[in-house]
Amino acid sequence: MSDWTGVGTRTPTETPFAATTMRTWPDISRYVAEFHKRESQDPNPEFYRELGDEALEKIAEMAHPYRKSWDNSVIGALTIVGNAVALPVDYLDGPLTVFWNGVKLGRGSKKDWDIMLSGWRTQSGTPSAWCMEDASTLVFDCAPDESVGMLVVWGQAYLPPLSDDPDAVNPFALLPKGSQLLVAKYILARLPVVPIQAVNESREALIYATQVNSIRQGVRDTNAADFDKGLHTLLLSVRNRTQVPMRF
């Protein structure tokens, strides 16, 4: 979460879990490559990354482990146009908490505003309520003056993508220690099985090839089950964790 100590000043602390051992994408990529090499396959880091980002999306959508804030500061992700704000691309879904200059705004209704607040879409002033225009646009009950106001919006977010850049945000830092291998489990579950061929037509050779191929498929099935189980555990952890109050 982020602690705001005044308009335009913040100290970000957006890690919802304290991961005592923080893995990185190179760690996970090497972990997967070791399994892959045991099947006499060349490591494919770019393909691993595609599957890994897919895993992070699924984890975010199913378990909602990451809640963050966006703002309209100079380097912020929000821009107010009239009385509307387009939510950033990493906003996931779920309820929002909206603050204007440190004051929490209530949620209103366009239907009520149309009846009670004539001209609310163009009238300027200090907003006191907000609602959703559509799935990705937030509107206020009046058009605020962005030059003198600090908007902060909290919501569920997608986890950051995987990167080899040591300065990039590490998505594993946003997951508890026990859930950081979920990405590896997902990748291993979805690596294509390259079957081996029997070296000859003998019964022994055919049995051996069948057994090896069965083992390789079993690795995928086991990791798929581990991913589903781990995702369920993470979901329960998120639901049961104590929420730290948002402060300004």
Q: Encode the chain in three state secondary structure.
A: CEEEEECCEEEECCCCCCCCCCCCHHHHHHHHHHHHHHCCCCCCHHHHHHHHHHHHHHHHHHHCCCEEEEECCCCCCCCEECCEEECCCCECCCCCEEEECCEECEECCHHHHHHHCCCCCCCECCCCEEEEEECCEEEECCECCHHHCCEEEEEEECCCCCCCCCCCCCHHHHCCHHHCCHHHHHHHHHCCCCCCCCCCCCHHHHHHHHHHHHHHHHHHHHHHHHHHHHHHHHHHHHHHCCCCCCCC
In a domain, 12, yes or no: no
In a domain, 210, yes or no: yes
Structure tokens at 39: 């099947």
Determine the distance from the C-alpha atom of residue 197 to the mean position of all C-alpha atoms in its chain, rounded to a whole number: 41
In a domain, 13, yes or no: no
- Over residues 17-29, the mean pLDDT reads 76
Q: Is the pLDDT of residue 18 over 70?
A: no
Residues 77 and 147 in one domain: yes
Residues 90 and 152 in one domain: yes
Residues 101 and 121 in one domain: yes
In a domain, 19, yes or no: no
Nearest 5°: the CA angle 153, 16, 69 is 15
pTM (2 d.p.): 0.82
Domain boundary among 133, 157, 181: 157
Domain boundary among 93, 123, 157: 157
Residues 135 and 82 in one domain: yes
In a domain, 129, yes or no: yes
- Over residues 102-118, the mean pLDDT reads 94
- Over residues 130-136, the mean pLDDT reads 93
In a domain, 233, yes or no: yes
Residues 152 and 108 in one domain: yes
At 142, the pLDDT band (50, 70, 90 cuts) reads very high
Residues 77 and 143 in one domain: yes
Residues 50 and 79 in one domain: no
Q: Are strands 106-107 and 129-134 parallel, antiparallel or unpaired?
A: parallel
Residues 113 and 123 in one domain: yes
Instruction: With beta carbons less than 8 A apart as the criterion, state whether 155 and 67 touch.
Output: yes
- Listed residue (185, 231, 217, 171) closest to 31, CA to CA: 185
Residues 61 and 73 in one domain: no
- Over residues 96-117, the mean pLDDT reads 94
How many domains would you assign to the chain?
2
Residue 233 belongs to domain spanning: 26-66+172-242
Residues 43 and 77 in one domain: no
- Over residues 69-88, the mean pLDDT reads 93
- Over residues 48-59, the mean pLDDT reads 98
Structure tokens at 241: 């964790």
Residue 68 β-bridge partners:
155
Domain boundary among 129, 157, 185: 157
Q: Of 70-79, 126-135, 238-247, give the lowest mean pLDDT range.
A: 238-247
Q: How many CB atoms lie within 10 A of CB 109?
A: 12
In a domain, 14, yes or no: no
Predicted pLDDT of residue 240: 81
Predicted pLDDT of residue 152: 95
| pLDDT mean across residues, the chain | 87
Residues 95 and 130 in one domain: yes
In a domain, 126, yes or no: yes
Residues 71 and 57 in one domain: no
Q: Is the pLDDT of residue 248 over 90?
A: no
At 15, the pLDDT band (50, 70, 90 cuts) reads very low
